[in-house]
Amino acid sequence: MNFFKNIFRDTFIYSSVVFFRKLITYLLIPFLSQYISPADFGNISIIYAYIAILNIIYSYGMELTFFRFGIEKSKKIKTLICYTTIFFSIITFFFLRQIHGCSDYALLIVFILAIDTLNLIPFAELKNDRNLKKYSILQFSQTLLNVILIIIFIKFLRLEAVKFYLIANIIANSIVFPFLKPIQIVKVDKKEIVDLLSFALPLMFVNLIGEINGKWSILSLNFFLPNDFYSELSKKDIVGIVSMNCRVAMAIGICIIAFRSAFDAMIFKKENDDVKIHKDTMHYFIIVISFFWFALSVNKDLIATLFFRNEIFKKGLIGIPFMGFYHMCNGIYYNISIYFKKINKTIYNFLFAIVSLLTNICLSAILIPRLGYIGSFIANISGVILAIILSYWKNTIKYTKKDIVWILIPLVLICLHDMFVKSFLVSIALTIFYFCCILLFLYTNDTAFRGFVRTKIHKL
């Protein structure tokens, strides 16, 4: 039970960090929808899709490698990352110069990638030392400064939206350098490099494919959507509209990111090898994340009314339940696939991720020209569901099959809600009612949960 207390506490803290950062980003949505056109936001979204994918290459699995091999390897990992960052930056600059929409911003993109990568292990050290206070303050400061600069540059100074959106990111990410442990270049022999890379590279490819899958809903529209599919809107407008709604759906994604931040740092410890820990973690994860998906989906109209100042962005509201479901499935896949990382068989993660990506690409090519952006959502979800099935098939841990009910119930309720409910108040009431039903069911049927609640009440 100590494991779950620790992971709950750490997840709560990381969730607070990530939630605050995303909350600021959410509060930026009205500003973005008012001062940035759908086409410009579409261009920003495509650039950041490439940044997210290239970030995986720059870091090549070294954060999890740091947690796996411990603090004694940190200097050597930092050294390796310094050298590779220089190498990747040169190649990336010339690569981006060839991509339409990125060529004018290639140098700025490279700076963002290099700074993010050099900050990676120093931030991982803070998590490993459980110096959560410093970690939180630096992350908060970074995000707050970034948002303030975006508002100043675009609203008050009326500077070019895309260019100065990137410049604000560079300045904000650079500000934390003096407060992190300095990077010391040390000698790394060939054997150590091989040991580190043999663990890290399969993870890099898995994460890379996973990130492409995650960003594919945006990139695929740029590749496969016919220019005249939506007669009143350009392709860049559609990308911007879908991206804005995907940003709202990331509320599910940030919960999973926070959970992974805590879980990655704890699951490799020997005392946490018990199979029951994996099964119980999956059980509670599905219950919690499916509720968040339900709450976000049934209240999407209210969220849009609060945040979208430009009505044009509401045209993509249907994407919120789809992308929320995708993020939930991605979290389930992560929980299952962590088993292969623990037994050093990350090749399975790689193979399943490849199958998922190929499925996503093929379905996107078929569905998007026929269904528009709905086709990209269906392709994304199909790919991750196939990865879940394959991972479950090869996994020796057999998770509780009844947990699928916690996915089916909100799925049915969301469909019924969209057909019959049109009132914000009814949506909020339904969300509260469903939350109370979950608590009541767990208290009456889950011994561990009931004991946890009684313990907390007794302490009060």
Cα 163 to Cα 27, 29, 109, 148, 310, distances in angstroms: 21, 18, 10, 16, 22
The number of helices, as runs of H, and strands, as runs of E, in the chain is 17, 0
pLDDT digits (tens, 9 = 90+) for 344-385: 787 888 889 899 999 999 999 999 999 999 999 999 999 999
Which residue has tokens 């005249």? 228
Mean pLDDT of the chain: 88
Q: What is the mean pLDDT of residues 63-84?
A: 83
Q: At 298, which helix (H) or strand (E)?
A: helix 275-298
Give the residue, 418 or 182, on which the prediction is more confident: 418
49, pLDDT greater than 70: yes
CA pair distance 302, 324, nearest whole angstrom = 16
Give the residue, 74 or 110, on which the prediction is more confident: 110
CA pair distance 180, 456, nearest whole angstrom = 37
pLDDT digits (tens, 9 = 90+) for 307-339: 888 889 999 999 999 999 999 999 999 889 888
Q: HSE of 456 in the Cβ direction (CA atoms, 13 Å)?
A: 7
Q: Quick count: other Cβ atoms within 10 Å of Cβ 146?
A: 22
CA pair distance 441, 436, nearest whole angstrom = 9
Instruction: Report residue 306 as tokens.
Output: 């609060």
Q: What is the mean pLDDT of residues 284-297?
A: 95
Q: What pLDDT, on a 0 to 100 scale, did the predictor assign at position 8? A: 61
pLDDT digits (tens, 9 = 90+) for 423-452: 999 999 999 999 999 999 999 988 888 887
Q: What pLDDT, on a 0 to 100 scale, did the predictor assign at position 274? A: 67
CA pair distance 229, 346, nearest whole angstrom = 41
Q: Quick count: other Cβ atoms within 10 Å of Cβ 436?
A: 10
CA 15 from centroid of its chain's CA atoms: 12
Lowest mean pLDDT among 14-28, 95-109, 197-211, 274-288: 14-28
Any idea how long the chain is?
Answer: 460
CA pair distance 26, 5, nearest whole angstrom = 29
Which residue has tokens 């339940």? 321
Which residue has tokens 């720059």? 58
Q: What pLDDT, on a 0 to 100 scale, did the predictor assign at position 106? A: 97
DSSP line for 108-164:
HHHHHHHHHHHHHHHHHHHHHTT-HHHHHHHHHHHHHHHHHHHHIIIIIS---HHHH
97, pLDDT greater than 70: yes
pLDDT digits (tens, 9 = 90+) for 232-288: 888 989 999 999 999 888 888 877 877 776 776 666 665 556 678 888 889 999 999
1, pLDDT greater than 60: no
DSSP state of 228: T
87, pLDDT greater than 70: yes
Q: What pLDDT, on a 0 to 100 scale, did the predictor assign at position 6? A: 63
3, pLDDT greater than 60: no
